[in-house]
Amino acid sequence: MNQIKRAALLLFVLAAVSALTACGSSDDSDNTSTGANTSGKGATTGGGGSESATTTIVIHNGEPVGGVQELEYGAGEQVRFRVRSDVADEIHVHGYDLMKDVSAGGSVSFSFPAELEGIFEVELEGLGEQIAELRVNP
Amino acid sequence: MSLLPFAHALAARQDLPVPAWLFAWGASIVLIVSFFALSVGWRAPRFEGDRWRPLGAGLSRALLGLPAQIACGLVGVSLLGLAIYAGLRGTEAPDRNFALTFLYVTAWLGFPLFSVFFGDVFRPFNPWRAIGRVVGSGFTALAGQPPSHLRYPERLGRWPAAIGLIAVVWLEIVYGSSGGVAVGLSPQPVAVAALLYSGYTLAMMALFGVERWCRTGEVFSVYFGMFGQLGCFGVEDGRFGVRRPFSAATRWATVPGSAAVVIASIATTSFDGASEGAFKGALESTFNRLVDAGFGLTSALRLTDTIFIALCFAGVAFVYLVGVRGMASVPGAPPLKKLWAGFSHTLIPIAFAYLVAHYFSLFVFQEQAQFTYLLSDPLGTGTTDLFGTASAGIDFRLLSANTIWYVQVGALVAGHVIGLTLAHDRAVAYWKDYRQAARSQYWMLAVMVAFTCFGMYLLSVANG
């Protein structure tokens, strides 16, 4: 009787852990699949549409069109994106601490090596509005 | 559109989710170690009774004497004063103001870290205790007799601290995420909250006595002191000494409401971790429902977060209750109430592991700011440069994503092992029969494995 109870508990624990592990792994495959096409996820894709295509984040009325954009890169790659805005503000890439001014109706482009790993905010500094999330994977 | 902003006003950088393979390894190690740990012949309690022995009398005098007490108290009071002043008078930018980083990173995360290794290091620096003691001695000198106090209701126990702990975190991650933009908590409300809390604490100290209130009611004394129970240095009868690590924790939960403090700690950290990963979808749908029901954006956001913090608390308490009920079903078990209190200290290492897993990188990065520009320019106005470091920045290259992952998973595994060991030790003290004690521990094993895997799961879907 005791033996059975103990075995059942063991099985329960193992099942719980493997279920959680499965959760984790399915999530990971999700991530990699989104990772592959993030460069195309921007609101508008400028240029020829090849691998070197630059994502353009369009700001309309001080908000990013299509919500907060995801930019995903591997460490060491070159981060390239452009911001086209209908409001004048300063674009701030947190962590990397890069700032560039954009004029109303103008656009500004960023190009820098992805040397810091982690998740960073890109925001309109004046409005305090997040426009993109930069992910740099190791 | 993502309406839920970054919870942390300070974090310019967030951790990447722990990859699945590391998650799987971590969980496997937890299981293997658990079964090994349970099968070893640990038949007599080793942590009950802390085997404290005093260190040299000179060291005691230097560390605990009146000059040291005054110096530490002054440091505590002036840092709190500086934080409040900076919060009220300094810049509104959370990351440039001394107040937020000092109160919510350096103190709130730093004291648990040091306490875990060294014991209760907050007590000498506690600014309210210092003020309360000075006022108390002043009163005694003037009135010719010590102030008389109300009797503290024993049944209240550590509940005021447990509720206060949730309130402190609530202020940071619920109240602070108001406004619907990615700004977060600004320094001014924190300074006002610190002032209100100071008033409340001093009033309670006047009512119940300084040391009495610190023991069970004062949030920071109780919370940091809880982690201090794991550390290897302690003060007994006014003498400084060394004790077996973790052993003091076995006597910690004799006060009602202690379990609530450690459960609140695990619950609030889980909520903070889950709100940007595991709970994101659920939070957003609850939020939308509340907005549809006619709530304003800010109140809907706060209400959503508050509901989920309450759910986290209930969830963590429920898992622990399952473990305790399970143990109670083993023949020879003490009453449920005794089990509930008697095993709550075994969750302290888990609570600490959750803190490390969730805040380790934030702490390391933000402390660079604390000791450079925030120290030189505490108000963040750009006009002062006390130590010539006002223009320094945070070097995010200090920790790679891999290092952070290993620390996170390592902390969870280590916390689990220590918690399990403490639980096993308590069981052999409670059950006369060793085999029954070991049987009861399959339940605590399930609890610990659940917490550890939940913690690792949160990391693996973090910031998704």
Digit-coded pLDDT (tens) for B316-371: 999 999 999 999 999 999 999 999 999 999 999 999 999 999 999 999 999 998 99
* Cβ-nearest to B12 among A21, A28, A94: A94
Q: Where are the domains of chain A?
A: 1-40, 41-137
Give contacts of A9 with chain B, Cβ < 8 Å: 442, 446
Of the ranges A15-19, B50-54, B292-296, the best mean pLDDT one: B292-296
Residue of B402, B457, B460 lying closest to A138 (CB–CB): B402
Residue A42: pLDDT over 90:
no
Q: Are B415 and B350 in contact (CB under 8 A)?
A: yes
> Is B445's CB within 8 Å of A28's CB?
no
Confidence of residue A16 (pLDDT cuts 50, 70, 90): low
Q: B14 CB near a chain A CB, below 8 Å?
A: yes
Mean pLDDT of B449-455: 89
pLDDT at B252 over 50: yes
**CA B164 and chain centroid, separation:** 12
Chain B (345-374) residues lying within 8 Å, Cβ to Cβ, of chain A: 361
Contacts of A25 in chain B (CB under 8 A): 20, 23-24
Distance between CA atoms of B450 and B350, rounded to whole angstroms?
11
The pLDDT of residue B249: 92
Candidates A2, A9, A117; nearest CB to B400 = A117
Q: B35 or B166, which is more confident?
A: B166
Contacts of A62 in chain B (CB under 8 A): none
* CB distance B73 to B67 below 8 Å: no
* Residues A97 and A60: beta-carbon distance below 8 Å: no
Q: Which distant-in-sequence residues (6+ apart) come within 8 Å of B310 by Cβ?
A: none
* pLDDT value of position B345: 96
> Worst-scoring range by mean pLDDT, A28-32, A72-76, B219-223?
A28-32
Q: What is the pLDDT, as a whole number, of residue B226? A: 97
CA of B16: which chain A residue's CA is closest? A118
- Residue range A64-90: mean pLDDT, rounded: 91
- pLDDT greater than 50 at residue B184: yes
Q: Count Cβ–Cβ pairs < 8 Å, chain A vs chain B.
A: 108
Q: Residue A112 — very low, low, confident or very high, per pLDDT cuts 50/70/90?
A: very high
Chain A residues in contact with B400 (beta carbon < 8 A): 117, 138
Query: Under 8 Å CB-to-CB from B84, ≥6 apart: which residues?
Result: B99, B191, B194, B195
Residue A123 in contact with partner chain B when CB distance is under 8 A:
yes
Give residue-wise pLDDT tens across range B64-90. Answer: 999 999 999 999 999 999 999 999 999
Query: Does position A20 have pLDDT exceeding 80, yes or no?
Result: no
Mean pLDDT of chain B: 89
Q: Does B29 touch chain A (CB under 8 A)?
A: no
Residue B117 forms contact with A (CB below 8 Å): no
Chain A contact set for B330 (CB, 8 A): none
Higher pLDDT, A20 or B280: B280
In this prediction, residue A14 carries a pLDDT of 55
B461 lies within 8 A of chain A by CB = yes
Residue B156's pLDDT is 94
B35-39, B41-45, B51-55 — which is least confidently predicted? Answer: B35-39
Q: Is the pLDDT of residue B310 over 90?
A: yes
Q: Is B357 exposed, middle or buried (0-12, 13-18, 19+ CB in 10 A)?
A: buried
CATH fold, domain A41-137, is Immunoglobulin-like (2.60.40)
B16, B409, B435, B436: which to substitute to probe chain A, counting the most A Cβ within 10 Å?
Answer: B16
Q: State mean pLDDT over B226-235.
A: 94
- Residue matched to tokens 């701030």: A92
Q: Mapping DSSP to helix (H, G, I), strand (E, B) and coil, where does residue B252 land?
A: helix
Statement: residue A12 has pLDDT above 60: no
Q: Which residues contact A69 (CB under 8 A, 6 or more apart)?
A: A41, A42, A43, A55, A57, A131, A132, A133
* Contact by Cβ (8 Å): B462, B276: yes
Query: Quick one: pLDDT band at residue B137, thresholds 50, 70, 90?
Result: very high
Is pLDDT at B286 greater than 80 in this prediction? yes
Mutate to test the interface with B, among A93, A94, A98, A120 (most CBs of B within 10 A): A94
Q: What is the pLDDT, as a whole number, of residue B35?
A: 72
Which pLDDT score is estimated for B2? Answer: 35
Of B194, B199, B85, the closest CA to residue B132 belongs to B199
Chain B residue with minimum CA distance to A134:
B13
pLDDT 10s digits, B313-322: 999 999 999 9
The two structure tokens encoding residue B234: 């302690």
Residue of B nearest to A117 (CA): B401
Res B174: pLDDT = 85
Question: Which of B3, B14, B34 best tests the A interface by mutation, with the highest count of A CBs <10 A?
Answer: B14
Enumerate residues 3 to 42 of chain A having a beta carbon within 8 A of any beta carbon in chain B: 6, 9, 12-14, 16-17, 20-21, 23-25, 27-28, 31
| Calpha distance B10→B368 (Å, rounded) | 13
Q: What is the mean pLDDT of chain A?
A: 73
B331 in contact with A, Cβ within 8 Å: no
Return the residue of B nearest to A28 by Cα.
B20
Range name among B9-23, B93-107, B247-261 with the lowest pLDDT average: B9-23
Report yes or no: B383 at the A interface, CB cutoff 8 Å: no
User: Could you say which of B31, B182, B453 has the minimum Cβ distance to residue A129?
Assistant: B182
Residue B464 vs residue A67, higher pLDDT = A67
Residue of A nearest to B396 (CA): A116
Residue A46 predicted with pLDDT over 60: no
Q: Are B208 and B152 in contact (CB under 8 A)?
A: yes
pLDDT of A35 higher than 50: no
pLDDT at A2 over 70: no
**ipTM of the predicted assembly exceeds 0.95:** no
Report CB contact under 8 Å: B182, A2: no
Q: Let me know: does A59 contact A86? Beta carbons within 8 Å.
A: yes
Cβ distance A24 to B23 less than 8 Å, yes or no, reads yes
pLDDT at B302: 87
Res. A36: pLDDT tops 90: no
Q: Which 8-state DSSP code applies to residue B104?
A: I
- The fraction of chain A above a pLDDT of 70, given in percent, is 62
Average pLDDT for residues B262-276, to the nearest whole number? 91
Confidence grade of residue A18 (pLDDT, cut at 50, 70, 90): low
